[in-house]
Amino acid sequence: MKEKVLEIQKKFDEQIKAVKSLKELNDLKVEYMGKKSPVAQLTSMMREVEDKKTFGMILNELRTHISDDLEILKQKLEEEELNKKLESEKIDITLPSNKIKKGSIHPLNRTIEEIEDIFISMGYEVVEGPELETDEFCFERLNLPQGHPARDMQDSFYITDKYLLRTQTSSVQARTMLKYGGEKPIRMICVGKTYRREDDATHSHQFNQVEGLVIDKKENHVSLSDLKGTLEVFMKKMLGENTKLRFRPSYFPFTEPSYEVDVTCFKCKGKGCNLCKETGWIELLGSGIVHPNVLKMNGYDPEKYSGFAFGTGIDRLAMFKYGITDMRYLYQNDIRFLKQFDRRDID
């Protein structure tokens, strides 16, 4: 009986040496400890044996020997397998990472921020007004009564008889004058969305304007030369130091005299090209000396106060500045277009 046990143990010791995987280990366990194993056979012989105590001890030793060896090898194999797995799943930190998409400032907002910076540096205040405006502020208080022919140039989206989407930021001129109560001097710009019923490559039904208004006591002599100087600084800073300005007499109901202001064509630098229709100039701003009626209607005494005003389309300015050929690109949110303006590395 003792020999039988030793034989089993020897055979087991031989076999366990060849085990390479957990699966093989499990098979060996079944072979030696399972229901049909030699250990099970010996256990069933227990009943027939006389010296049960010695038999039991020997059998127990065999069982402990087998299960201890199996357990030790199991731990070793498990550790090996884990190491193999860790090795194969190792992260290569030298690999380049996925590119994180960065946003960029929209060319319109970039232009707006630039305009605001220029005027803030000249001591102007940036004010706001409503986009849903009344006929009164958009037209009446700017010397454009009902039926005035100049209204035709600004075909509008009327919401009711009284309310419309503002066609020009000039409405904020009237609002600011009333707010300042006919006494305080004014030096403001207003930037914002405006709306007109038009839509093509150079006109969008929604666009942006900047309005400027300066009013002071007559003894402070706010004059046409101040207007010219202001617009010259504005345009040179926006479009480059070599930009020249040309003032042409024009008509706006809220200014008298009124001027249309042209700047040297950004494309041909004044030589003449298809963009400027061979003139070398591009029409950009409306401006003038605030009409006495406008001052009076909004609480400022034209005998005591005077000033100038100007207005321009920001979308057009952005187009010139960045060489954009179709205004509609500004509103299509096409990433391929917008990402060209991500210039943070340059700024």
168 binds ligand DAH (CB under 6 A): yes
**Residue 111 or 168 with smaller CB distance to ligand DAH:** 168
**Residue 234 or 254 with smaller CB distance to ligand DAH:** 254
- Residues in contact with ligand DAH, counted by CB under 6 A, come to a total of 12
**Residue 257 or 280 with smaller CB distance to ligand DAH:** 257
Helices of type H across the chain: 2-17, 22-33, 38-45, 52-88, 107-121, 135-138, 171-179, 224-239, 292-297, 314-322, 335-338
Rounded Cα distance, 316 and 326, in Å: 10
**Residue 73 or 214 with smaller CB distance to ligand DAH:** 214
Rounded Cα distance, 300 and 295, in Å: 5
170 binds ligand DAH (CB under 6 A): yes
**Residue 55 or 195 with smaller CB distance to ligand DAH:** 195
Q: Are 301 and 177 in contact (CB under 8 A)?
A: no
Binding part of the chain for ligand DAH, among 70-78, 94-102, 263-271, 305-313 by CB under 6 A, reads 305-313
Q: Which of 309, 317, 319, 324 binds ligand DAH (CB under 6 A)?
A: 309
Q: Which of 133, 135, 211, 315 binds ligand DAH (CB under 6 A)?
A: 211
Q: Which of 118, 311, 320, 330 binds ligand DAH (CB under 6 A)?
A: 311
139 binds ligand DAH (CB under 6 A): no
Task: Tell me the Cα Rg of the chain.
Answer: 44
**What single DSSP character describes residue 158?**
B
Q: What is the number of other CB atoms lying within 10 angstroms of the CB of residue 40?
A: 13
Q: Are 195 and 156 in contact (CB under 8 A)?
A: yes
**Residue 107 or 311 with smaller CB distance to ligand DAH:** 311
Minimum CB distance to ligand DAH, residue 236 (Å): 20
Minimum CB distance to ligand DAH, residue 294 (Å): 9
| Interface of this chain with ligand DAH, residues 242 to 261, rule: CB under 6 A | 252, 254-255
* Closest-CA residue to 121 (of 196, 187, 172): 187
**Residue 66 or 174 with smaller CB distance to ligand DAH:** 174
Q: Which of 156, 176, 243, 287 binds ligand DAH (CB under 6 A)?
A: 287
**Per DSSP, what are the bridge partners of residue 1?**
none
* Closest-CA residue to 169 (of 140, 131, 196, 117): 131
Binding part of the chain for ligand DAH, among 29-37, 43-51, 183-191, 282-290 by CB under 6 A, reads 282-290
**What single DSSP character describes residue 325?**
S
Minimum CB distance to ligand DAH, residue 287 (Å): 5
SS3 category, 80: helix
CA 3 to chain centre: 84
Minimum CB distance to ligand DAH, residue 142 (Å): 8
Hey, CA dihedral for 332, 337, 343, 345, is it positive or negative? positive
**Residue 111 or 143 with smaller CB distance to ligand DAH:** 143
Minimum CB distance to ligand DAH, residue 308 (Å): 7
Rounded Cα distance, 82 and 70, in Å: 18
Q: Which of 189, 310, 327, 330 binds ligand DAH (CB under 6 A)?
A: 310
What angle, rounded to 10 degrees, do the helices at 22-33 and 52-88 form? 170
- The DSSP bridge pattern shows strands 305-313 and 206-217 to be antiparallel
Binding part of the chain for ligand DAH, among 13-21, 123-131, 306-314, 318-326 by CB under 6 A, reads 306-314
Q: Which residues bind ligand DAH (CB under 6 A)?
A: 168, 170, 211, 252, 254-255, 286-288, 309-311
